[in-house]
Amino acid sequence: MTAVDDRVSAIYESLDVPEGFKAELIRGEIVMTAGPDMVHNVIVAAIQHQVPYAHWRALTTQDLSIPGEPSEPQPDLVVFERGAVRESGRLLPSGAVTLVVEVVSKTSGDRDYRTKRGMYAAGRIPAYLLVDPTEGVCVLFTEPVEENAKGLPDYRSERTSGFGEPVAVDVLGITLDTTDFQALD
């Protein structure tokens, strides 16, 4: 990290985020967004309840540490194997994470589809599930690679399903039921 990155990180760590807002450090920038829509929260809860608790931790509001990235994203849902890491501290290392979930809002599309996709691939997170209630689709990215054709970290595999269709999440050994997912107005 550079001195500027260190200063931004220090500000981010001491930031007093107003209630109802969320702050993330994304590639050296502090990004603050308003609280999510209820459609968003229902989708996150539906996924969280389908992750087998006996084997996995499925957490909301958990910041990630990604080596080589001046970022500390806070995915909508983070899934990692029980016992994979010491379960304390603010930052969860991306190497321990099996799945991240982002639910697209009206303002987060570019960040979720492009920026975070590259960040999560750089962090070698095996699966990234993007749920887009504006389009009514789930996109599952798997098989992170160091470089795509443009020389950037990315995922080799991309599978899109419409709301109401099952989504096989092989890395967790589950198939998500998406029948309760609703589109945004």
Q: Where are the domains of the chain?
A: 36-176
Residues 1-23 have a mean pLDDT of: 71
Banded model confidence at residue 35, pLDDT cuts 50, 70, 90: confident
Give me the residue label for tokens 């795509």.
Answer: 148
What pLDDT is recorded for position 130? Answer: 98
What pLDDT is recorded for position 127? Answer: 98
What is the token pair recorded at 137?
């689709």
Neighbours of 153 (CB within 10 A): 20
Banded model confidence at residue 164, pLDDT cuts 50, 70, 90: very high
Rg (CA), the chain: 16
Banded model confidence at residue 4, pLDDT cuts 50, 70, 90: very low
Residues 1-21 have a mean pLDDT of: 71
What is the token pair recorded at 112?
């979720």
Helix (H, G, I), strand (E, B) or coil at 95: helix
104 touches 136 (CB < 8 A)? no
Instruction: Identify the CATH homologous superfamily for domain 36-176.
Output: tt1808, chain A (3.90.1570.10)
CA distance 34 to 118: 23
Neighbours of 30 (CB within 10 A): 15
79 touches 107 (CB < 8 A)? no
Give residue 141's identity as a one-letter amino acid code: F
DSSP secondary-structure letter at 25? E
Whether residue 29 is predicted with pLDDT greater than 50 in this model: the reply is yes
What pLDDT is recorded for position 30? Answer: 80
Residues 47-66 have a mean pLDDT of: 96
Q: Which of 29-43, 68-82, 116-130 has the lowest mean pLDDT?
A: 29-43
Residues 69-98 have a mean pLDDT of: 93
The long-range contacts involving 75-80, CB below 8 angstroms and separated by at least 24 positions, are: 75/100, 75/101, 75/102, 75/116, 76/36, 76/40, 76/44, 76/101, 76/102, 76/103, 77/44, 77/47, 77/48, 77/101, 79/51, 79/172, 80/56
Neighbours of 10 (CB within 10 A): 10
Whether residue 23 is predicted with pLDDT greater than 80 in this model: the reply is no
157 touches 142 (CB < 8 A)? yes
What pLDDT is recorded for position 117? Answer: 95
Helix (H, G, I), strand (E, B) or coil at 38: helix
- Beta 91-93 vs 63-65: how paired, if at all? parallel
